[in-house]
Amino acid sequence: MPLTRIQPAKTADLGEVPPFVPHPWLGGGHRQTIVGRFWPWPKTRLDSTYAEVDVQGGDSVSVLESIPRDWRPGDPASLLVHGLGGCARSPYMVRVAKRLAGRGGTRVVRMNLRGAGSGFGLSRSYYHSGKTEDLRQVAAWLVRRAPGSPIALVGFSLGANLVLKLAGEAASDPVEALDCVVAANPPVDLEACCRAIQEPRNRIYDKNFLRLLKGEVSRLHRRFPELGALDLSSARSLLAFDELYTAPRNGFLHARDYYTRSSAKGWIERIEIPGLIVHALDDPFIPVESFASIRIPPNLECELVPHGGHLGFWSRDPWDGGRRWLDVRIAHWLAARWGRGESVTNHL
């Protein structure tokens, strides 16, 4: 496939999708990534209900569910999955959930992957990039809560890899009620991403993610002493961490085996449901070349945007009430998919 952005398209009655143009003060992938992560955003109220869902191995994960007042049985539902170091309360998760559950009138479940967020202490293991069986369990829980509703999987970064992988697996092992998939900045080739994040210009990201992971698994082992002693002092990079901890703790031979078996790139061409992939060519640590060898099926829209960084997409011009272009793009795509346009005015 050509490594260019798909041209703006009409989105049902929502009008034309504007191409992303970065704010003039925020040129370059690094600025977009950092500002997108740390720029303060208005904290709006999002009513949600806490629940716990059983997963394999006797563990559980926690979820936050938001149901619009005007939601009716059969109306759409979305399952949102966070990225590495995130949780159900990460700002991008809350912002997108607010758009979907507000004017979009969509039932939204924000999932904490194993050990993340409010789910800490419910699981003796920690999440990784290929653990799609947990998403299956939460999706099945959502089907029981909302029978007859079409379900969208919406993932961000690591969560985007997970939702694409599960959508590919669903071609031969169906996920009930799965209607579509949306992936933002997916690390579809984990080994290539690991190489990219070790480049000198990206060491700040490598060190930050490594610090987060070391802290979380150390906390996990303190919570469950039966997991055994933990020594990660020699892990100086994400690659080393995955070699020392992620791979052996999850039944992989080594880090490369983990990356190969968990990357979405081997599953994308099998996806049969409609979907949207949004990725920025200047994402600092997810190389766009990862997409070059993947056959994108015609049912998937793949938007490779020239700028935007990693989950940044801070726009020059406001679109639909804000400068967070990615948030609006996801909400508008799902609104068009389900025929829920600007006239929808449901509120929480």
pLDDT in tens, 152-202: 999 999 999 999 999 999 999 999 999 999 999 999 999 999 999 999 999
In a domain, 3, yes or no: no
Evaluate if residue 342 carries a pLDDT over 70.
no
Is residue 45 located within the same domain as residue 100? Answer: yes
SS3 state at 306: coil
The pLDDT-based confidence of 341 (bands split at 50, 70, 90) is low
Evaluate if residue 141 carries a pLDDT over 70.
yes
In a domain, 311, yes or no: yes
Is residue 122 located within the same domain as residue 56? Answer: yes
Is residue 180 located within the same domain as residue 137? Answer: yes
CB 305 within 8 A of CB 21: no
Q: Choose the final residue of a domain: 262, 285, 307.
A: 262
In a domain, 16, yes or no: yes
Question: Strand 314-319 to strand 322-324: parallel, antiparallel, or no bridges (unpaired)?
Answer: antiparallel
The pLDDT-based confidence of 42 (bands split at 50, 70, 90) is low
Is residue 244 located within the same domain as residue 131? Answer: no
Is residue 245 located within the same domain as residue 318? Answer: no
The pLDDT tens digits for 148-159 are 999 999 999 999
Mean pLDDT score of the chain, rounded to an integer?
91
What pLDDT score was predicted for residue 225? 96
Evaluate if residue 304 carries a pLDDT over 80.
yes
Question: Strand 178-184 to strand 151-156: parallel, antiparallel, or no bridges (unpaired)?
Answer: parallel
CB 333 within 8 A of CB 308: no
Is residue 170 located within the same domain as residue 105? Answer: yes
Token representation of residue 222: 């303190």
Is residue 249 located within the same domain as residue 116? Answer: no
Question: Which distant-in-sequence residues (6+ apart) come within 8 Å of 284 by Cβ?
Answer: 29, 30, 33, 196, 201, 202, 205, 309, 310
CB 345 within 8 A of CB 337: no
Mean pLDDT check: name the lowest of 7-16, 29-38, 130-139: 7-16
Domain count, the chain: 2
In a domain, 42, yes or no: yes
Please give the Cα distance from 15 to 26 (Å, whole number): 26
Task: Please list, residue by residue across 313-335, b when 16 or more beta carbons sit within 10 angstroms of its beta carbon and e when fewer do.
Answer: bbbeeebbeebbbbbbbbbbbbb
Is residue 271 located within the same domain as residue 319? Answer: yes
Question: Strand 60-66 to strand 151-156: parallel, antiparallel, or no bridges (unpaired)?
Answer: unpaired
In a domain, 303, yes or no: yes
Is residue 91 located within the same domain as residue 171? Answer: yes
CATH assignment of the domain containing 296: 3.40.50.1820
Please give the Cα distance from 292 to 288 (Å, whole number): 7
The pLDDT tens digits for 96-116 are 999 999 877 999 999 999 999
Q: Which amino acid is at 323?
A: R
In a domain, 84, yes or no: yes
Please give the Cα distance from 183 to 190 (Å, whole number): 15
What pLDDT score was predicted for residue 10? 44
Is residue 60 located within the same domain as residue 138? Answer: yes
Is residue 182 located within the same domain as residue 110? Answer: yes
Is residue 137 located within the same domain as residue 285? Answer: yes
- Residue-range definition of the domain harbouring residue 26: 12-189+265-337
Q: Choose the final residue of a domain: 246, 262, 278.
A: 262
Token representation of residue 237: 């990079």
In a domain, 5, yes or no: no
Q: Choose the final residue of a domain: 222, 237, 262.
A: 262
What pLDDT score was predicted for residue 343? 34
What pLDDT score was predicted for residue 3? 40
What pLDDT score was predicted for residue 39? 72
Rounded average pLDDT over 255-265 = 98
Please give the Cα distance from 171 to 164 (Å, whole number): 11
Rounded average pLDDT over 245-255 = 97
In a domain, 285, yes or no: yes
The pLDDT tens digits for 121-132 are 999 999 999 999
